[in-house]
Structure formats: C-alpha cells, structure tokens
Structure 1
C-alpha cells in the first residue's frame, strides 16, 4: 500500500522523550504513516540519519521508538558506505521515509553522490510518503534557511526541489528564522516560502499544500509571499493531532 498520489509531510517536530525510551514518535510521525494508507500489517518506515552523520546512538534510539510504535523500521546509512545492497529497491518497499534533522547542506551533498536525489523522486512519484524534521523538511523544497555553514543562518537554494517553494523550519523558536525568510523572499532569493512552528507539519499532495497539522497546542504555519519589494506573511491554523 502506498499513498494515492505523491505525498510529503514536512515538519518541525515528530520526536519527544519517551516514557521508557530516550525517544518516542509524536503525532507527526504517526500522521505520516496514516497518510501512506497502510493497514492490515506493520507499517514500514525508513529512518534516514544522513544529516547527523548516521550517528549510531540515534539510530538505536529510533529503532527503539519504532518498536514501541509498532513499526518495522529500516535505517538507511551512508557512512562509511551504504548499509543496503539494493538501496532503491528497499526505499520503494517502504510506506514512509523519515529524514532526521541536522545539516541539510551535508545531507544534500551525500545524497547526490549516492544518487539518492533520483531515488527519492521516484519513491515520491510511486506514492511512498516522504517526511522528516528540520533538514529532513527543507530537503524536499527548493531551499530554506540553515545553520549548516555556521552559527549565523544562511540561505540554501539547491535542495531537491520536489516542492517548488522555500521552507522555513523552527519558525517560532529560532529568532533569526522569520526575519531572514522575509528578507530572502522579498529580494527573490527564495520563492514563496512555507514555514512551520515547532510541532507543526505541512501536508502536500503533489505540489499543493493541502493542510497544516500540529502535535503541539497553539502553534502555527505560515505562507510568506513576495509583494512588490517586500514580503507578506499569512498564518494558517493547523489541525490538531494530539495523541
């Protein structure tokens, strides 16, 4: 079972501390599974930790979170070499791809070396739900704001471009994100940009934003568009996913 059309859930959340585990999956990860339409068996979820260098301790934590959630979780690791004999075949067998945050610039470089940019496009077209948090959100868009290059936020404009927008993550918790997004949209560095507060996800069917959802009360999503030489922001109220 795959989604009925190309689907992306781009988020600024999805993880939290578990009751008996270091990490558990929040409402956003569960919603990615729901979007896939899987039923009658354990969901197949691929965890991609490229943006944090495939840190083994976090892969172990995600395995445990997957066990508790009832998922069959497969990690895709690229350091020091791919851990799968058939990367594309395994990706296409998944219901959901969940991409961890970290360095989106490094993630994109490593993915391109291994041809993952093309693999994930084919998976998206086949109905595998693409999702993730922070760097795992920005990667699906044309670009966004990132601290991949140092503590000062900078624009990134060479992401995969499956979605023809910019993406602003951690919009309410990192004070530099909102003003930089506005400046980059106003001067044309980024196209119309879709932004999420922490705990919020943006749902796309094809390339259309169809809904914002949240696992945290009181949060928002935003569309920032160019108007003349300035940027204007529209707030979107997310639908709650409280679990």
Structure 2
C-alpha cells in the first residue's frame, strides 16, 4: 500500500506530552499515516532523527509513542554509521517517513554524504509519504529560515527542492521568522514561501499544495509572494483534524 501519488505533509507540529509517556503522536502524525492509505495491518513509520544527531533518548521516546499509537516504528540512524544494512530498501518499505526537527543544515549535509537525498526522492515518487516537523519540513522545499548556524535566524537555500517553494516554520511562535521570510521573499532569496503556525501542516500531492490541516484550533497557514520590492502574505484557514 502506498499513497496514490507523491505526497508530502510538511508541519510545525506532530508531537505532544503524553498522559503516560514523555512523547505522544499528535493528529499530524496520524494524518501522515492516513495519507499513506494503509489499512488492514499496522502502519510502518520510519523515524529519522539526523537533525538532532540521532539522539538515542528521543528515539526511545518516539518508539514508545509509536507503541501507544499502534505503529511499527523503524528508526534510521546515521551516527556513527547507518544502523540498517539496506537503507534504501528499508525506506521504500515504509508507509511514512517522519523527520524530526533540529539542524536542517546538518541534516542535509549528512543525508547527502549517504545519498539519502536520492533515496528519499525514490521513496516519494513510489508513494511513501514524506513528513516531519521544523527541519523535517524545510528539508523537502527549496529552503527556508533556520537557526542551524546560530541563534540569529539565517536563510537556507539549498534544501532538497522536491517542492519548488520556500518554507517558513514556527511562524507564530518565533518572532523573527515572519519578518525574515518577508524580507527573503521580497529580495528574491526565497521563492513563493509556504508557512505554518505551530500545530499546522501542509499537504502536497505532487508539487501542488492541496490542503492545510491543524491539530490546534485557531492556527493558520500562509502563502508569502513577492510583489515588486515587497512581500504580500495570504492566510489559509486549515482544516481541524480529529484528535487521535
């Protein structure tokens, strides 16, 4: 089972504190599984924690969240070496790839060393749903804003480019994100840029944005376009997802 066409769910959310676990999957992770079309068996989800250096304690928390959700979780570690013999085969066997946030610059560098950029493109084209939060959102686009290089936000313009847009994450919770996105779109550093408040996800079929969804009421998504020497922003009202 796979999604009917290449599908990406790019988010600024997906995790929360659980009732009995440190982490539980929110509605956005469950929606990524829904988009894959899997039924009749336990969903197969790959967790990729490259952006936080393959933190073992967080991988364990994600494993516990997957157990509670009823998912079969396969962690992909690249430090100190890949933990899987056949990385490409394992990726292509998944229903969903979920990429954790952290340093998108480091993530991209390590992925390219291991040729994961090509592997993920194959998986995307084969119908594996690509998803993730923050760095795990920006990576699928042309670029976005990042604190990968220090506390002052900077542009990143060499992401994987599966989607021909910029991406702005944490649009409502980090005061520096919105003005920097506007400046980068206005001066042409970033193309048309799709942005998400915390708790919001953007669904793409192929390279077309088809829907905004949210796990938190009242949140928004935004499209920022260049207009002469300035940028203009249009808000999209996301559909509220049911609680898992």
Structure 1-normalised TM-score? 1.00
User: Alignment partner of 1:242: what SS?
Assistant: coil
Query: Which residue number corresponds to residue 152 of structure 1?
Result: 152
Structure 2-normalised TM-score? 0.99
1:162-181 pair list within 5 angstroms: 162-181=162-181
Query: Which residue number corresponds to residue 67 of structure 1?
Result: 67
Whether the 8 Å contact between 1:213 and 1:239 is mirrored in structure 2 is yes
1:1-243 pair list within 5 angstroms: 1-243=1-243
* Separation (CA, whole Å) in 1 of partners of 2:3 and 2:203: 12
Q: CA deviation at 1:176?
A: 0.2
**CA-to-aligned-CA distance 1:185-237 (integer Å, 9 cap, x gap):** 00000000000000000000000000000000100000000011110000000
* Separation (CA, whole Å) in 2 of partners of 1:22 and 1:169: 23
* Separation (CA, whole Å) in 1 of partners of 2:241 and 2:133: 16
User: Alignment partner of 1:32: what SS?
Assistant: helix
Number of equivalences: 243
User: Alignment partner of 2:35: what SS?
Assistant: helix
User: Alignment partner of 2:159: what SS?
Assistant: coil
Q: CA deviation at 1:112?
A: 0.1
* Separation (CA, whole Å) in 1 of partners of 2:114 and 2:193: 28
Structure 1 runs (4+) greater than 3 angstroms displaced: none
**CA-to-aligned-CA distance 1:24-60 (integer Å, 9 cap, x gap):** 0000000000000000000000000000000000000
CA RMSD of aligned residues (A): 0.3
Q: CA deviation at 1:242?
A: 3.3
